[in-house]
Amino acid sequence: MKGHYYFILVILILTISCKNRNERISNTVTNNKNSQNKVIITKGIAENRKIAKAVFYFENSESMFGYVNGFTEYVDVISELSEKPRFAEEKTLRDFYFVNGGEKLHISHIGNNPSYLKTKLNKSGFRCGDITKSNLNSMFQLALSKAKNDTISVLISDAIYDIGQPQAPMNALSTEGRETRSRFIERLNEGDLQTIIIKLTSQFTGSYFPVTGGIIPIDQKRPFYIWIFGDTELLNEYFSDSYIKSLKGYTDNVRFLKLKDIQAPYQVTTHNKLGDFKFDKRDKNKLFKTKTDRNNQGFQFTFAVDYSNLPFSDSYLTSNTNYSCSNANFTIRNVVGIEDIKLYGLDFTPTHLVTVFTNRSPLCQLNISLLNTVPEWILNTNIDDEANIINDTTHTFGFRFLTNAISEAYHHINQETKIVSFNFELLK
């Protein structure tokens, strides 16, 4: 009998142990599945982040009427942006407004239907609100206030300050520029914000209003500008450099953003070199037995870099003037896209090649930086005198005050002049 009881007791213990073990296994599997689901869901949200709403503001002061006199490039671009294919595909909510007026903006809501918007892109449709004035600073403040979270805002204007002081326009422009800078600093302190400025050219048939007073009838091409404000990740995704360049009448663009820890993998190659060097086995950006060319042509090396995480235009990335070398004996000889050049031994996919040259001793610790600078086209767009505005198709009066204000605001927040840096050791 005792042996029988012991046998039953052992069976019960084993049964309970197996059950507990199975429950633990089951719970572990369930928890793992839940964890995997959470990861998948989180990953899905990050990958599928979308613009929830796009808010458009069109300046419709009388100075803008010449852009909507017929089917111009201006009309074509607004039609394209309002019906951007991805907006249509994702059924992105869009709101359209005309905006003008002085100290108090006059904002006219013209709905969220792109088809209806297009019926208003003419002189008759533009004639609403206070067409005699345009307060650009207030327009910026309005557009900046809307660009938060998954909402972006778009402002379209001729970028000419309505200063209302024809006797001392430069003083007035300086004052307006400082106010613009303050508006941007205030918004940047609230969180992430990228600003894209696009310069385009359109046929303009109408009245030009000089800041010194009067009216000049013109029938020619004139520049206009688009500002897009929003989260950096969203603007990089929806407004690529290639898309921006496809807009009719496109001339130039620039992006201002709050600099973060941007990753740009890089490595020295043997492509297009002068002189000689050996690679360190552990660090390919550490070179030894570095020697100048035996024919006294100097020393040169080229490094490959992946700029795919940077939203800047190719013209910006390939401009030599946008780079600095820590050693004054070195210069950037050229920066080019990788195109069909074959490189081997890289653990990343490069987009560009940067060639560095010196005609002195190459031995040093070398830092090369891509600088956060204002592109030359912005400086070249500005004029301080409208006397020759007839047949001038490229310049905008006082543009430097506006763009300096924006760039200074970003520089104030970033407190950094370098977008990304590359470090090299050149040893004996």
CA 145 – CA 68 distance, rounded (Å): 27
Q: Which pLDDT score, from 0 to 100, does residue 19 have?
A: 47
Q: Which pLDDT score, from 0 to 100, does residue 163 have?
A: 66
Q: Which pLDDT score, from 0 to 100, does residue 186 have?
A: 93
Q: Which pLDDT score, from 0 to 100, does residue 27 have?
A: 43
What percentage of the chain carries pLDDT values higher than 70? 88
What SS3 class is residue 394? coil
DSSP 185: H
Q: Nearest 5°: CA angle at 40, between 39 and 45?
A: 100
What SS3 class is residue 44? helix
Q: Which pLDDT score, from 0 to 100, does residue 262 have?
A: 79
Q: Which pLDDT score, from 0 to 100, does residue 25 have?
A: 40
Asked if 148 and 188 count as a contact pair (C-beta separation under 8 A), the reply is no
- What average pLDDT score do residues 383-406 get? 93
Q: Which pLDDT score, from 0 to 100, does residue 116 have?
A: 97
What percentage of the chain carries pLDDT values higher than 90? 73
Q: Which pLDDT score, from 0 to 100, does residue 29 have?
A: 36
User: 170-197 burial, b for 16+ CB within 10 Å, e for fewer?
Assistant: eebbebbbeebbebbeebbeeebbbbbb
Q: Which pLDDT score, from 0 to 100, does residue 176 have?
A: 85
What SS3 class is residue 406? helix
Q: What is the pLDDT of residues 135-179, one digit of tens each?
A: 998 999 999 999 999 999 999 999 998 766 655 577 778 888 899
Give which of 241, 395, 271, 280 is closest to 341, Cα–Cα: 271
- What average pLDDT score do residues 91-102 get? 96
What SS3 class is residue 224? strand
Q: Is the pLDDT reported for residue 328 higher than 50?
A: yes
Q: Is the pLDDT reported for residue 4 higher than 90?
A: no
Q: Which pLDDT score, from 0 to 100, does residue 212 have?
A: 82
Q: What is the pLDDT of residues 15-72, one digit of tens each?
A: 544 445 444 444 433 333 333 332 222 233 345 789 999 999 999 999 999 999 999 9
DSSP E strands in 372-414: the ranges are 382-383, 396-397
Give which of 352, 351, 353, 356 is closest to 368, Cα–Cα: 356
Q: What are phi and psi of 303, to 5 degrees?
A: -115, 145
Mean of the per-residue pLDDT values of the chain: 88
Q: What is the pLDDT of residues 275-302, one digit of tens each?
A: 999 999 999 999 999 999 998 899 999 9
Residue carrying the six token digits 């003419």: 122
Confidence of residue 119 (pLDDT cuts 50, 70, 90): very high
CA 240 – CA 256 distance, rounded (Å): 14
What SS3 class is residue 129? coil
Of 27-41, 242-256, 342-356, 383-397, give the lowest mean pLDDT range: 27-41
CA 217, distance to chain mean position in Å, is 36
Q: What are phi and psi of 419, to 5 degrees?
A: -80, -45
- What average pLDDT score do residues 421-427 get? 97
Q: Which pLDDT score, from 0 to 100, does residue 48 have?
A: 72
Q: What is the pLDDT of residues 224-240, one digit of tens each?
A: 999 999 999 999 999 99
CA 384 – CA 171 distance, rounded (Å): 12
Q: Which pLDDT score, from 0 to 100, does residue 311 have?
A: 87
Q: What is the pTM of this model?
A: 0.81
Q: Is the pLDDT reported for residue 114 higher than 50?
A: yes
Q: Is 125 exposed, middle or buried (0-12, 13-18, 19+ CB in 10 A)?
A: middle
- What average pLDDT score do residues 327-352 get? 94
Confidence of residue 3 (pLDDT cuts 50, 70, 90): low
